[in-house]
Amino acid sequence: MKRDGRTLDHTTLETIRLMAIERVAEGESPATVIESYGFNRTTIYKWIDKALRSRAGVAALGATVGTGRPRLLTPKQEQQVFRWVNGRDPRQYGLDFGLWTRAVVVDLIERKFSLRLSLTSVGALLDRLGLSPQKPLQRAYQRDPQAIERWQREHYPRIAAQARRDGAEILFWDESGFRADAVHGRTWGVRGQTPVVNRPGQRQSISAASAVSAKGAFWYCTFGGALNGTLFIDLLRQFMRGRRKPVHLVLDSLPAHKTVAVREYVAGTHGKLTLHFLPGYAPDLNPDELVWSHVKRTGVARAPLRAGESLSERIEQQLAQLKRMPHLIRSFFMAPSVAYISDC
């Protein structure tokens, strides 16, 4: 059986070459030696010729490392490419596109260094630099990084300290909407033939509000229609019903959350309920957003309603199941975006 030397690593091939030459030097027939290793008969004569012609002798048969094509960019230039791409926007460099692609990096390198690299070379370069193609998180232009930092460093710690003094609970509140005709995610199908997922022809929609705590508490309710101040007060009354401890409720600055009627209702609780508002355009600071993300990834969006099935009943069932899983609620507080929250 003939053996293909290309299937062996360099170290193994080097060992075979040196052993073969040593056996020939001890008197064995070259043909017999090479046959024992399973290589082509002429191979050993190339080895012998190379060892005899080279000043290095047998050492010339040692393994060598291929250098490949030399890189066009210096290490310093490669690090500059990393600084350009990492955490920055192509538009900062006068490019039209807002996302980094290999083609965009090719154009930027050519513009800055007067060197034209191929798409394959740029892809290999980005991989060496520890960069990979990823789906970016989206942030509003109005987002204020300084306000977010103050919230994490100053405002929330004050809320937590006050809650400890009051023996109060801290919960995070948010609302979300659901539609029966929304199908998210992907499914497998024959290439070129888009799969079809049946869904109800009659549109159903419902909204829900929930509140979560770092200890795993989960409260929820569903409602129809658009949220306004009056409806929000009704939801707060349901939320506060039966509660013995004071509550510090953290939520976003939706106009319905900040009406005069809402302020009057909160004042009427005489300290039993206190509202705290997150910085604007920073939903990632609210762990309740992660709850809704989980519900929408695993619920009706993944398993469309059957004929005659009610969206309201499906959502109620899923939220009730979530309430029985405090360990899952606690896991949402482990996300890096909400790591600032202490367990009060």
Counting Cβ atoms within 10 Å, is residue 131 exposed (0-12), middle (13-18) or buried (19+)? middle
User: What's the pLDDT score for residue 34?
Assistant: 86
Q: Which residue has the higher pLDDT, 136 or 311?
A: 311
Most confident of 63-67, 99-103, 138-142: 99-103
User: What's the pLDDT score for residue 181?
Assistant: 59
For the chain, first and last CA: distance in Å? 72
128 near 269, Cβ under 8 Å?
no
pTM, entire model: 0.59
User: What's the pLDDT score for residue 202?
Assistant: 57
Poorest-pLDDT segment among 26-30, 246-250, 283-287: 26-30
Confidence bin at 229 (pLDDT 50/70/90): very high
Q: Which residue has the higher pLDDT, 17 or 252?
A: 252
Q: How does 298-334 read in b/e, with b if 16+ C-beta sit within 10 Å?
A: ebbbeebbeeeeebbebbbebbeebeeeeeebbebbe
Confidence bin at 169 (pLDDT 50/70/90): very high
User: What's the pLDDT score for residue 142?
Assistant: 57
User: What's the pLDDT score for residue 232?
Assistant: 97
